[in-house]
């Protein structure tokens, strides 16, 4: 039996369409299976397994721990495998992985994981601030007794005893003024002086005559 030429053309067209559809499915599934960033974090290390990346472009990977670089930025091609040792720690660490794919941001990754404390190490509790006590008891100086301030108002002195009134029976006081007997007393004194001078003169004369 012969097949018409038109039927052959139709069959060829269907076969080409089926091949094209299958090729599209394969091409579509290819990128979806590529760019596989696998990484694990334990208490003491970080394991990186980056596979199926585009080797024709420049890809970058960076790992930080609590904001500090554990793996500075490195470039890689199709894959990247590495193990990084974590520093000793007594509390959980925050590990961050940043992968920048050179063939599109849709293949880049920015992920974070926690690194637990290894067994046998207990987390150090955060110390609570304690109130600082003064080193010594402050000594208060004993105030010296203040001297009494002088009284502003002078104290009233006791009144002086009154002079005794003269008794009416006491004798009259001597007169202090001059009296009538003063010339007589003066004249008698002159006479006495003259008599004394005469006596002394006679005595001297007698001594001279005897010599």
Q: State the pLDDT at residue 24.
A: 45
Q: State the pLDDT at residue 125.
A: 60
Contact 84, 63 (CB under 8 A): yes
pLDDT band at 92 (very low <50, low <70, confident <90, very high): very high
pLDDT band at 205 (very low <50, low <70, confident <90, very high): confident
pLDDT in tens, 23-54: 443 344 344 457 899 999 999 999 999 999 99
Question: 83 Cβ partners below 8 Å, 6+ apart?
Answer: 45, 46, 47, 48
pLDDT in tens, 64-82: 999 999 999 999 999 999 9
Q: State the pLDDT at residue 67.
A: 93
pLDDT in tens, 100-123: 999 999 999 999 999 999 987 655
- The two tokens of residue 146 are 């203040």
Instruction: Indicate if the alpha-carbon torsion angle 178, 179, 180, 184 is positive or negative.
Output: negative
Residue-averaged pLDDT of the chain: 74
Q: Is the pLDDT of residue 175 over 80?
A: no
Rounded-to-integer distance, Cα 20 and Cα 14, Å: 10
Rounded-to-integer distance, Cα 54 and Cα 57, Å: 6
Question: 55 Cβ partners below 8 Å, 6+ apart?
Answer: 77, 78
Cα atoms in the Cβ-side hemisphere of radius 13 Å centred on 44: 5
Q: Which residue has the higher pLDDT, 153 or 211?
A: 211
Q: At residue 148, what are phi and psi to the nearest 5 degrees? A: -65, 130
Contact 129, 156 (CB under 8 A): no
Q: State the pLDDT at residue 151.
A: 54
CA distances (Å), origin 185, targets 29, 50, 182: 173, 159, 5
Percent of the chain whose pLDDT exceeds 90? 38
Q: β-pairing, 93-100 with 109-115? A: antiparallel
pTM: 0.45
pLDDT in tens, 59-68: 999 999 999 9
Alpha helices per DSSP H over the chain: 5-33, 182-210
Question: 121 Cβ partners below 8 Å, 6+ apart?
Answer: 90
């Amino acid at each position: 039996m012969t097949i018409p030429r038109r039927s052959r053309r139709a069959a060829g067209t269907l076969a080409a369409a089926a091949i094209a559809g299958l090729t599209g499915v394969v091409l579509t599934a290819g990128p979806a299976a590529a760019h596989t960033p696998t990484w694990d974090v334990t208490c003491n290390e970080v394991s990186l397994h980056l596979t199926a990346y585009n080797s024709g472009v420049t890809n970058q990977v960076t790992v930080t721990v609590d904001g500090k670089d554990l793996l500075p930025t490195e470039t890689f091609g199709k894959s990247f495998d590495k193990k990084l040792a974590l520093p000793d720690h007594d509390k959980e660490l925050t590990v961050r992985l940043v992968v920048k794919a050179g063939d599109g941001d849709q293949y880049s990754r920015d992920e974070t994981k926690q690194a637990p404390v290894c067994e046998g190490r207990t987390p150090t509790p955060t110390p609570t601030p304690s109130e600082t006590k003064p080193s010594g008891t402050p000594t208060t100086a004993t105030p010296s007794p203040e001297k009494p301030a002088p009284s502003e108002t002078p104290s009233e002195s006791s009144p002086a005893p009154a002079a005794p009134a003269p008794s009416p029976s006491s004798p009259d006081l001597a007169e202090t003024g001059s009296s009538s007997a003063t010339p007589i007393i003066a004249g008698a004194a002159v006479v006495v002086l003259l008599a004394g001078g005469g006596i002394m003169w006679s005595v001297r004369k007698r001594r001279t005559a005897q010599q």
